[in-house]
Each structure stands twice: as structure tokens, then as C-alpha cells.
Chain A
Amino acid sequence: MQIFASLLPAEIAVHAPVLLVAIPLIMSAVAAFMPNGRAGWVISLITAGAVAFLSLVVLGQVAEAGVVSYHLGGWAPPIGIEYRVDALNGMLLLLVGVVGFLCVIYALPSVADEIPKSKQALFYAAFLVCLTGLLGVTITGDAFNVFVFLEISSISTYTIIAMGAGKDRRALTAAYNYLILGTIGATFFVIGVGFLYMATGTLNMADIARILSENGHDRVTQAAFAFIVVGLGLKAAMFPLHMWLPNAYAFAPNFVTAFLASTATKVALYALIRFLFSVFSPEASFVDISLTWVLAVLGVVAMLVASGQATFQTDARRLLAYSSVAQVGYMMLGVGMGTAAGLSAGLLHLMNHALMKGALFMALGIFALRFGIQRVQDLGGLGRSMPASATMFTIAGLSLVGIPLTVGFDSKWYLIVAALERGWWWAVVALIASSLLALVYIGRLLVVIWMESPPSHHGETVARSRAPYLMLVPTAIITFANIYYFFDASFLINLSNAAAEAVMGAR
């Protein structure tokens, strides 16, 4: 890891944390002025590549120094705004950077197919703004800054989801409903931050944490806690605040779904973890109680109910979207355990879920590009007409179920171990039941793909078709990661262990 820190000259490497946010922001303006979609894509590709590279550099600096603190404009915190990277958000930066880069490679054929030509450059510009927001939420150490970046990413997300309207007008209502709920969530969050500011007189998260641990909690900080959990829970699609997610994922352009499913809810969940563990602390009894009785319990309910809902969906992407809500439940369960092992397992599942869902939505995007497929029943016979993509879909699907030889098994294993350590046998039962439900809904897709015969038009079966390499290669890389990190799990496990230690061990 340390080696990445030395890849840039020291004068630039010092500013890597701020460049990570500034580069996509500036490049989004450049992309908006590009004459066509292809030029916009090149700009996005360069930017996402730079972001992925810088996230590696920052992670290397974290491995060297423990905590990287960047003072914006040279104003020292707590008065100035601080960008603060430790092992937890370093990991998230890497996730957003690398998955974002792979998604951008994938984007060109998909976007060319789904977005009107005149809008493509603007679409890429909005995407880069969204990337800026996600990176900003992840990197900043200032509570109000979190709100601003959260809204930067959300507002651009509403627009890029609505761009799915070219294929299906329901994208518009989905984006509108997301806008209403997302804004309520953000406003709840900002009320919570306001209460924290009233109680502590500072907005720097480390400083708030210090003052709270010195002064203890009163009703104002408890109200702040409740508002922040609800607000960020809405953004993270925490059950039962997930109502916006299934439609938003089902009708957004395929590239957007793949990108959002593997980054956006993860970043919101990161912000929640940051507030639960770093700003507040499980040592305070009301935090501990809400971890157990709100997060863990709702997580278990999400795992069961959302998985159950997923089995009855007819739209393939909505099926996977409900599955995403269930997977957020797994992460909530891990976080709700309130132990380092539980948090680490939850974070491992967060990374792994990004890999699985990224690959699944990318493969669905390939099917949609070639055959315009949205409904489950239309997937029939794809095992024969698109064997490579169908294989990748299968591997990622099995990973989602948690079959051994895939990363999904890893994180579920660690979740079960952590739950048993805590003595939560009911959580283990729910985990297994939910995995069986996952087997049902993924199995339903796989049966249609492999068992049914290809659709026939006028008596002729559809010819074999190959996806464009630009889509195939990133999907293959993520699918390969699903298997590779089962055999060489140490990288991801070390990352999530270090992240859990960084927030739990700080106290």
C-alpha cells in the first residue's frame, strides 16, 4: 500500500486529498462543453482514471501516516474545513474511485444507446458532478460539508436517473420521488447538524466528537442523533426508508444503475457509520441501544422482507434493487452489532456487495443493450445467445447468494462469526433464511437464463450475440474480482479490519 504514496511528486501528493474532489468538479464543467458524447466520455474516462489513481495515492498515505489531514486554504481546523482520511474513508475512496473508473469504461456503448445524442455530453457532466459529491462526502471532516456534498451528489443523481426517460417515462416519476425523499433526508440531516452545532459550537467532526465525549450528552445531542440517523438512513436506503430505491434503480439508464448501486448507497452508509462511531460513540448508552434495537433489528427485517419482495418482481432490475435493500440490511446488521468484528464484517460486505451488484447490473445492461431486456421472462435463453455475459451474471449472482468460491461467502461467513460472538443466534437464523431467499430469486433468474430456449422471431432463433468489448471487459474484471478475492481475501479483509479499528480503536 505504502508504495502508492510515492507515485506522485511530493508537492502534488500533499494536495492529493483536495485534488480528488477538485478534478472531477472542474472536469464536469469541461465535459458540459464537449460537442458530443464521445468527447464527454473521454473527459470522464480521464477524470475517473485520475480519481482512481489519486484514491490509491491517498490510501498509500493513510497506510504510511495513519490519518491524512488536509487543511483547505491553509486554515487549521476546527475553524477551517478539514479533509480527513483514515482507514475507513480511505477504503471508501478506493471503492468509489476504482468502481467509478470501471463503470465509466462501461458507459460509452450503454450511454450511446440510451441517452439522446444531444444530451450525452451534459449527461457525462452530471455524472462527474455526482462523482465529485460522492468523493466529497467520503473525504471531508466537516459535518456541514457532508451535507453540501451529499446534496451535490444527490441533485446530479436525480438528473441522471431522469435521463432514463428516453427508454421509459417512469424514470421521471422515479427521479421525482427520489428528489422528494432525498431532500427530506438531507434536510433531516442538516437539522441534526444544526443541533450538534448548537450543543458544541463547532462543525469539525473530530472536534464535535471531542466536545461530546467531554461534556456528555443531553437532549439536544440525542435529538441531533435521531435526525442524523433518519436523514442518512434515507440516503442509504435503510429499511424502511428505501421506498425511492427500487424504481430509481429500475428505470435509470443501465450505466447509472450499475454506478449508483455500487457507490451511492455505500457512501451514505459510510457517512452513517462515521456519525455513529466517530462523532457519537457506542459508549453512550442511547447510541448503543439504537444500534441494537434500531439498526440491527431493522437490518434483519430488511434482509427478510426485501428479499421476499425481490422474489416476486417481474422487472429484472427492480428485483436486484430490492435485493440491494436486503443487502443494506446485512450491512446494518454488521454495523448494529457495535463490535469491531461486526463493523468489519459489515464493511467487508459493503465492498463485496459493490462487486456483486456492479457485475450483476453491468451484465443486465449488456442484455438490455443487445435485446432491450427489462423483464425477467425475457431473459430466456440468454445462456445460449450470450454465453459470456450470462456466465458473468451467473457468477455474480451466486456471489450474491453467498456460494463458496465467491466473495459473497466470505462476508456472510464473517457476519455469522461476528453475530455468534455477540450471541445473536436469531441474526444467524435470519442470515441463512435471507440467503435462501436470495437463492430463490437469483435461481429464478438463472433458470430462465440457462434452461429456457432463446426467443424466436418468426420461427428463427436469435443469433448469438457478443457485447462490445468496452462493456465486456469491465464486467469481466469485476466478476473476476468476485472470485479472486475469495482465494486472496486478505486484501479486502485487511482493509475492512483496519477501517473498523480506525473508528472503534480511536476511543
Chain B
Amino acid sequence: MLEIILDRFNYIPIIILMMTGLYIVVATGNLVKRLVGLSIFQTSVFLLYISIGKVFGGNPPIIEGGHGGGHGDDAGYPASGHGADAAAGYAAGGEHADEAHADDAHATTDGDAHAATDSGYGDAADHAYDAAGHAAEAVEHIAYSNPLPHVLILTAIVVGVATLAVGLALVVRIREAYGTIEDDALNAADYSLETGSGE
């Protein structure tokens, strides 16, 4: 039993907030406090969405290194000149990196006047190989949090803010028209209007 609850600990504050908010909406007669309750209720739902997007040990959903899609330029590994091109190009895929390794071996066996440039090239290729290896590892082993609920909740927050703004504007107008923002007093004013017993 305890285990079941602890497994779902993220829902406990959400449920408490949700019930608190809903209770405030029902229980209070003050129009502004009712909007506060409504906001708490909505916020608990935002938390619900955000918490289901969380993956334990998950990283921010930004793909590091190459991801085999030809976006090597985005790899983000610091390199310069020729090396950058090589790293970027070879980071794209494992088999390319293997070729680079072969080139590397070729360069070391040749070892003549071109060695200086070749070894420079080879370093870059080596680097690329490492990068490709990391990238492959990254794609396989790194878990990412799900970004979609966050995006949804950004929209829902905007909706919540708009609702709150309209609600508060209405409260201001009600205050102007009735001179009170207490539910009981409003009902009494409306009732006397309807039954014609004066205001």
C-alpha cells in the first residue's frame, strides 16, 4: 500500500491543490477569492501535465551530438578549420567514422612529407570518430523527458491567464454596479430587484 502511494508521490500535492482550489471556489462567497481558488485548481492541472512529462534520469529534450540526420553542423563540438568540417561530416554516421579511421591508419603508415598535414587530418578524423561514438551512445542510452506536455501547458497557462483577466475585469464591473463583491449581498440585491421590493 505504502509502496503504491510512494510510487505515485507526484500526484499527492496535485490532488491536494486540486481539492483545495475546488473547495475554495465552492466555499467562499467573495468573488475575488473564488477566482483565486479557480487559479489554484488550474495550476494543479498544469502540475499534473508537467509531472507526467518527467522521465526519471531523463535529460532536457535537446539532442546532443550528431543524430544521423545530416545535421552535423549542429553537433556543437568545438573544432576549427578543416577539423571542424571533418568532425561535422564524420560525426554524422558510424560507417563514415570507420572510413576516417582507415584514413588515419593510412596516414600513420605512410609517414612521409605529407605526414604533418595528414596527421592533422587524422587528428580531426580521430576526434570525429570519438564524437560519432558518443553520438551513437547518446542516442542509445540517454533518456529524454517528454517535452510535449510542457508545450501544452504553456498554452493552458495562457488560457488560464486570459480567464483570470476576464474574471477580474468582471469583478471590477460588478463592484461598480453593485458596490459589493460578496455573493450573499449580490443575491440579496438581485432578489429585491426581481420581487420589486426596492433596492
Contacts and interface: CB of A to CB of B under 8 A. Distances in A.
A179 B163 CA distance: 8
B162 to A, nearest CB: 5
B177 interface: yes
Contacts of A280: none
Contact of B177 (A147, A151, A165, A198): A165
Interface string A158-194: 1100100100011011011001100110110011001
A176 B190 CA distance: 14
B170 A187 contact: no
Given A158-B166, A183-B163, A184-B41, A176 B177 contact: no
A493 B170 CA distance: 42
Given A169-B177, A191-B48, A194-B48, A148 B155 contact: yes
Contacts of B170: 158, 162, 172, 175-176, 179
Contacts of B173: 162, 165, 172
A155 to B, nearest CB: 5
A184 to B, nearest CB: 7
A486 interface: no
Interface in A131-158: 144, 147-148, 151, 155, 158
A176 B167 contact: yes
B87 interface: no
A197 interface: yes
A165 B169 CA distance: 13
B152 A144 contact: yes
A148 B156 CA distance: 7
B124 interface: no
Given A158-B166, A169-B177, A184-B25, A190 B156 contact: yes
Contacts of B45: 187, 190-191, 194
A183 B21 CA distance: 12
A186 to B, nearest CB: 8
A144 to B, nearest CB: 5
Contacts of A176: 31, 167, 170-171, 174
Contacts of B20: none
Contact of A180 (B34, B149, B174, B190): B34
A170 B25 CA distance: 20
B42 interface: yes
Nearest to A179: B167
B52 interface: yes
Contacts of A158: 166-167, 170
Candidate in A169, A170, A183 with the most chain B CB atoms within 10 angstroms: A183
Interface in A417-458: none
The interface centre, meaning the residue of B34, B149, B152 with most chain A CB atoms within 10 A of its CB, is B152
Interface string B159-192: 1001100110011011001100000001000100
B22 interface: yes
Contacts of A197: 52, 149
Contacts of A147: 156, 159
B38 interface: yes
B49 interface: yes
B42 A183 contact: yes
B66 to A, nearest CB: 22
Nearest to A173: B186
A172 B34 CA distance: 15
Report which residue of B45, B159, B173, B174 has the largest number of chain A beta carbons within 10 angstroms of its beta carbon: B159
Contacts of B178: 169, 172-173
26 contacts: A147-B159, A148-B159, A155-B159, A155-B163, A158-B166, A158-B167, A158-B170, A162-B170, A165-B177, A169-B177, A169-B178, A172-B177, A173-B190, A175-B170, A176-B167, A176-B170, A176-B171, A179-B167, A179-B170, A180-B38, A183-B38, A183-B167, A184-B22, A187-B45, A191-B48, A194-B48
Given A176-B167, A184-B38, 18 more contacts: A151-B163, A155-B163, A155-B166, A165-B173, A169-B178, A172-B173, A173-B174, A176-B171, A176-B174, A179-B167, A180-B25, A180-B34, A180-B35, A180-B38, A180-B167, A191-B45, A191-B48, A198-B52
